[in-house]
Amino acid sequence: MAYQIEYAYTCHIGKIRNNNEDNFWCCGDSLEAQNQGMSHIRSGYMRQSEYPLLAVFDGMGGESCGEMAAFLAAEACGEHFKTAKDGIRNDPEEFLNEICESMNQAICDYGRTNKINSMGTTAALLAFAEDAVYSCNLGDSRIYKSDREKFYQISQDHVLGHSLFGKAPLTQYLGMEEENLQLEPSISRQEIKIGDRFLLCSDGITDMLSDGEIADILSRDIPVAKTVEILVDRALKKGGRDNITVVLCEIMEQPRNMFRRVLNWFHRQNEGDI
Could you please state the CATH topology (level 3) that the domain comprising 3-273 is classified under.
Answer: Phosphatase 2c; domain 1 (3.60.40)
Give the pLDDT confidence score for residue 270 in this predicted structure.
55
Burial 243-260 (b: 16+ CB within 10 A, else e): bbbbbbbbbbbbeeeeee
pLDDT of residue 273: 43
In this predicted model, what pLDDT tens digit does every residue of 193-252 receive, in sequence order? Answer: 999 999 999 999 999 999 999 999 999 999 999 999 999 999 999 999 999 999 999 999
Q: What is the pLDDT, as a whole number, of residue 272?
A: 44
Q: What is the per-residue pLDDT for 86?
A: 96
pLDDT value of residue 258? 52
Q: Please report, rounded to a whole number, the percentage of residues in the chain having pLDDT higher than 70.
A: 91
Distance CA 165, CA 95 (A): 37
Residue 118: which of 176, 201, 168, 167 has the closest Cα?
176
Which parts of the chain register pLDDT below 70? 63, 162-166, 256-274
Q: Which pLDDT does position 269 carry in this prediction?
A: 53
Identify which of 187, 10, 11, 202 has the alpha carbon closest to the alpha carbon of residue 100.
187
Distance CA 207, CA 238 (A): 10
The predicted structure's pLDDT at residue 64: 76
Q: Which amino acid is at 91?
A: D
* Boundaries of every domain in the chain: 3-273
pLDDT of residue 184: 97
